[in-house]
Amino acid sequence: MKHPSHGRYHHIALGGILTAVAVVALYFGAGNLDFSAAALAAFAVAMAGIEMGGKGAFLVYAAASVVAGILAPVKIGAILFACFFGHYPIFSAWLKTKKSGWVAFLIKILYFNFFFGAIIFLFAVFEFYPILWVFFFIAPTVVFIIYDFAMERILMVYLVKIKPRIPFPGGQNNQN
């Protein structure tokens, strides 16, 4: 008979591992790969959401944000993760339960532009030149759409091909 707390211990261990993965991605991506590192670290949050639910994903996001903010030699990637990339998988998963199709797609774009605009405004990335505003919102929005599409496809591959083969406690193929 399986002890009732085994699933809880599994979630604690998995949360720690996924937090470490996110922090390592942010640490080694510091400098030239800030956006890429933040986007890669977001996959750890998405995995936590799949395996542990929304609360687990939020805890991984919060812990990785704090630890990366302390340890990362260059803080830009950690800031990008804390301000957008880290909580985006949680928002995206929640949005899937509420809306679908074009409405969800437009809400995601608005969500991205709100946080991206806040980051630009708070950190005064550039002076006010109208052409820069157009470039700094259109180009990143296109990149965000590609990122969102890639994240959806990679997570689908994980759910369909990889997750059924992993013997996690309480998982589909657990024989205990």
How many structural domains does the chain have?
A: 1
Question: CB of 89 within 8 A of CB of 151?
Answer: yes
- The per-residue pLDDT for 99 is 83
C-alpha–C-alpha distance, residues 159 and 37, integer Å: 23
Which residue stretches of 29-166 are H helix? 34-71, 76-80, 88-98, 101-123, 130-157
Is 82 within the bounds of a domain? yes
Amino acid at 1: M
Task: Please write the tens of the pLDDT for every residue from 158-176.
Answer: 999 988 887 765 544 444 4
Is 172 within the bounds of a domain? no
Token pair of 119, please? Answer: 């980051």
Is 95 within the bounds of a domain? yes
- The per-residue pLDDT for 2 is 55
Helix, strand, or coil (residue 74): coil
Task: Please write the tens of the pLDDT for every residue from 130-155.
Answer: 666 667 778 888 999 999 999 999 99
Long-range contacts of the stretch 63-72 (C-beta < 8 A, 24+): 63/15, 63/19, 64/19, 64/22, 64/23, 64/26, 67/19, 67/23, 68/22, 68/23, 68/26, 68/27, 68/41, 71/23, 71/27, 72/26, 72/27, 72/30
Is 21 within the bounds of a domain? yes
What is the domain range of residue 103?
A: 6-165
Is 107 within the bounds of a domain? yes
For residue 157, pLDDT over 90 is answered with yes
Bigger pLDDT: 7 or 47?
47
Task: Please write the tens of the pLDDT for every residue from 16-34.
Answer: 999 999 999 999 887 778 8
- The per-residue pLDDT for 67 is 95
- The per-residue pLDDT for 116 is 84
Task: Please write the tens of the pLDDT for every residue from 62-120.
Answer: 999 999 999 988 888 888 899 889 999 999 999 988 888 889 999 999 999 898 888 77
- The per-residue pLDDT for 7 is 66
C-alpha–C-alpha distance, residues 17 and 35, integer Å: 22
Is 100 within the bounds of a domain? yes
C-alpha–C-alpha distance, residues 112 and 143, integer Å: 11
Task: Please write the tens of the pLDDT for every residue from 35-72.
Answer: 889 999 999 999 999 988 999 999 999 999 999 999 98
Is 62 within the bounds of a domain? yes
Is 174 within the bounds of a domain? no
